[in-house]
Amino acid sequence: MTMATRLADASLRVETERTGVLQQVWARRADYLYVLPAIVVMLIVIAYPIYYTINLSFFNTPPSLQLRDKNFVGFDNYSLILNSDVFWRVTANTFIWTIASTLIAFVLGLGAALALNRDFAGRSVLRAILIIPWVISAVAASYIWKWIYHSDFGVIGAVLVGLGLADRPPNLIDSVGTVLPSLIVVNVWREFPFAMIMLMAGLQTVPDQLLRAARVDGASAWQRFWHVTFPHLQGVSTVTILLLAVANFNSFIIPWIMTGGGPSNASHIWITHIYELAFGRQRWGVASAYSVLLFLILMTLGYFYVRALSGGERKERGA
Amino acid sequence: MTPTTIAVATRRRKPIDVWRWVGRIFLVLILLYTAVPMIWMLLTSIKSGFAALQFPPQWWPDEPTLASYHKLLDPTNSVGEDFLRFFWNSFFVSTATTILAVIVAVPAAYAFSRFDFPGRKFLFFSVLLRNMFPAVIFLVPLFILMRLLGLVNTHGSLILTYLTFGLPLAIWLLKGFYDNIPYQLEQAARIDGATRFQAFLLIVMPLSTPGIIATAIYSFIGAWNEYIFAYTFLSKNDQLTLPVGVQRFFSENTTDFPGLMAASFMMSLPVVVLFLLLQRYFVRALTEGAVKQ
């Protein structure tokens, strides 16, 4: 927290008498006017849908989505999910997808951030080029890579055949064994720039004097990284990894456009599976139950996220 | 620091710096990984439909042609008519979302940064948490809500739902900016007789312009690239935004890869240009909250 807000807090604290919460709320009613529009919008588009999803997960709702005709089924939707093979298949895919994408994107981002951390001609141009995949539409990215992977005219197939590594172009995204890794390559392509930006900003906070001192004491480049730079990046790294993990867990566009979850569910992850259950097969109740489970998982991740962030805040306050 | 350690240090710096070379090679590889797909998109987009369907591929187009771009940008043929309409729809929806998100987020972010009202922590963390939830969780109930409000197949449904991700992010980014504006400036204004709201409007708002610009760009790019709500809520051809529209009209004719690549390029161009022009603000806003130790 900056000096300014600390001052602001201090002055507010002087204004506030020791009173009950309701009295405080009343006394600060003008403050709420600033937040009120945001609260209203958030209630409509966030709180209401969460409530409604939980509600729908206990019902069997007809495909037409006629809410009058829904009937209460208790936990049936949940037990249906947990007893299906597809659930475990998709869960395994989701974990592979999330963990592999996150780790590879983070490592590539860290490498790029470190390599770009010295001054050289063309550094800012290079950085700008490396960021572009993160900015362009995921839909465009999916088409570009679909074309690159194309089983008849794809450039990867052509290179593999040209180098004599394959007799004919492989069906990278049409076969069960290779589809998930192929999609992870696309996903990492789009995401490592995010890790790079975050970590480059983090590198700015590593004190120069410490690095210089380590150099003077004869520490090697690796030792300087491991003992000085890396510990300073820990806060940013935690936040970056969590944000990447959440984004990957919630991916939709790349798997949906490139394969639609196929072949035979090999690239379905939770999100695409839920979407297909709801809008493809009109199984609103089951899809809602899936959403509730997803919500619980994300709340757990969110707990760590908030803890990582507020840990930083506590340090700032010096408490 | 003794003289001997200095001597050791200078002697150690002499040999070739292995890590510098590792860094350079790494940069070259990652540049290839980043750039080759984009170059391949551009090269394909200037091939003829026939030239694109060859194996092994023409690495460099024999007869480069801008025909695909002409087709997309010419309003007198059906492809161009559709494409330009999708383009306009995307622009309209993204701009409206951005304006709404900024108007609602500015006062809220200011309050989160300056006031200490009961419930502040809880509200701010629910804002943060929202960034973790995928659109899919909200999709079914919002679809029902939009049907009730009669907004299915209108741009209103998109503008409203894009606030689900635009607003929390805007509040988060803007709060970071307000935290860095010295409170004394407002205090001075209030001593001179301004109300708190006047101080906010006349002192803080102008100072936070870079933050507002960054937030607006972020929100615009988010809305421009959004796919899942548009894919679910819109079905009429004249309403579609670019990501969905492009998918619709190329799924009918999947062999036109140059057209698809040209459309992908045109779809990405506005946001990439916007981003490159203003990346300094943008990157600062993005990393400010996370990097402070």
Q: Which residues contact B168 (CB under 8 A, 6 or more apart)?
A: A42, B127, B128, B130, B131
Nearest CA in chain B to A117: B23
Q: Tens of pLDDT along A169-206? A: 888 998 999 999 999 999 999 999 999 999 998 998 88
Residue (of B11, B12, B4) closest to A220 by Cα position: B12
**Residue where the block lists tokens 């409170």:** B183
A75-310 to CATH, choices 1.10.150.120, 1.10.3720.10, 1.10.510.10, 3.40.50.720: 1.10.3720.10
Query: Which residue among B125, B250, B291 places its CB closest to the CB of A236?
Result: B291
Confidence band, pLDDT 50/70/90 cuts, at residue A316 = very low
How many Å lie between the alpha carbon of B279 and the closest alpha carbon of chain A? 8
Q: Which residues contact B241 (CB under 8 A, 6 or more apart)?
A: B86, B89, B90, B93, B158, B226, B230, B234
Is there a contact between B115 and A49 if contact means CB atoms under 8 Å apart?
A: no
Ranges A9-18, A82-91, B51-60: which has the least confidence? A9-18
Residue (of A234, A109, A97) closest to A179 by Cα position: A97
Whole-complex ipTM: 0.86
- Which residues of chain B does A231 touch, with a Cβ-Cβ cutoff of 8 Å? none
Q: Tens of pLDDT along A257-312? A: 999 998 989 999 999 999 999 999 999 999 999 999 998 988 888 888 777 776 65
Q: What are phi and psi of A60, to 5 degrees?
A: -105, 110
Is there a contact between A52 and B1 if contact means CB atoms under 8 Å apart?
A: no
Q: Over B87-138, what HEC string results?
A: HHHHHHHHHHHHHHHHHHHHHHHHHHHHCCCCCHHHHHHHHHHHCCCCHHHH
Is there a contact between A252 and B123 if contact means CB atoms under 8 Å apart?
A: no
Is there a contact between A246 and B131 if contact means CB atoms under 8 Å apart?
A: yes
Is there a contact between A45 and B41 if contact means CB atoms under 8 Å apart?
A: no
CA dihedral B128, B134, B136, B139 (to 10 degrees): 20
Nearest CA in chain A to B258: A147
- Tell me the three state secondary structure of residue B77: coil
pLDDT for the residue numbered B291:
58
Q: Tens of pLDDT along A4-63? A: 555 455 555 444 455 677 887 777 778 888 888 888 888 887 888 889 999 999 999 998
pLDDT for the residue numbered B1:
46
Which residues 209-238 of B have a C-beta within 8 angstroms of A?
Answer: 221, 224-225, 227-228, 232
- Which residues of chain B does A300 touch, with a Cβ-Cβ cutoff of 8 Å? none
Residue ranges of domains in chain B, CATH in brackets: 16-64 (no CATH), 77-290 (1.10.3720.10)
- Identify from A7, A137, A239 which residue to disrupt to test chain B contact, counting B C-beta atoms within 10 A and taking the largest count: A137
Query: Which residue among A9, A239, A257 places its CB closest to the CB of B247?
Result: A257
- In whole angstroms, give the CA distance from residue A289 to residue B71: 46
What the block records as the tokens of A211 is: 């690095």
- Chain A touched by B1 (CB under 8 Å): yes
Q: With a cut of 50, say whether residue B30 has pLDDT above it.
A: yes
Query: Which residue among B35, B128, B268 places its CB closest to the CB of A137?
Result: B268
pLDDT for the residue numbered A318:
40
CA dihedral B51, B54, B56, B59 (to 10 degrees): 20
Residue (of A319, A18, A35, A245) closest to B122 by Cα position: A35
Is there a contact between B271 and A137 if contact means CB atoms under 8 Å apart?
A: yes
Query: Which residue among A30, A33, A49 places its CB closest to the CB of B141?
Result: A49
Is there a contact between B116 and A1 if contact means CB atoms under 8 Å apart?
A: no
Q: Which pTM does this prediction carry?
A: 0.87
